[in-house]
Structure 1
């Protein structure tokens, strides 16, 4: 896996942290209020460095905006109802799709290679269905589920 531009390789775990950070920003930050990456990381129980990497990708994708300085921090660039989970997934530019772990066992030996070839179509269809479902859900949907 190659190192990404912002200093780390995005993994499926990043997707979970990205969603948590966006729900937190949407629910806890009033219009114009900025949240520092350390605060967001603390609420998501992860390291501030990792959270900054994730937020940098979300900023490049125009999902969040970052402001530097003493009063700096992150805030959503658009309403939560306009941010789809598919948009977040694509913004992270993950090197391995979520199903990658399933394919790890199919890399060695003749049976493994045959299984990999046979399973590739199923995996590709699953990924397409997942992206369609992620496209139907928004951060606002998650907020309603989490905070009622």
Structure 2
């Protein structure tokens, strides 16, 4: 299963496969992932490689490890809006709608990282956006640190002429 000549680290390949199994429902929310020993045997890699793969999935918020119990697929937590002023004109004028307003109301200072890039539409994105596969898409990715939220936006035909 692991392609040792691809140049992609083995732990990333294992993480990608597990991520796919989480995404397709093989491991639904709340379910326990197989033991380290089972994963080692299934993927033919070392314990360290499995731990790095699980660590990557943990950093993405897909799984949680419970000491002595195992690794479980994280259930999607409901998004709770705390800020009462998030829709006020003052909050909008200060560009503090939603996340920043919520952060201010709970007393922490967030860090927001925004990246914008163009990429070709994958079959999944093309189906969702009803565009041909390979169409150029504008992708905006916003990572909000301290709440470990991630918000991506895809737009079609946004390149300036």
TM over 0.5: no
Kindly indicate which of the two structures has a greater share of residues assigned to helix: 1
Structure showing greater relative contact order (alpha-carbon pairs closer than 8 Å, 6 or more residues apart): 1
Query: TM-score if structure 2 supplies the norm length?
Result: 0.36
Compare the two structures and name the one with the higher strand fraction: 2
Tell me which structure has the larger Cα radius of gyration. 2
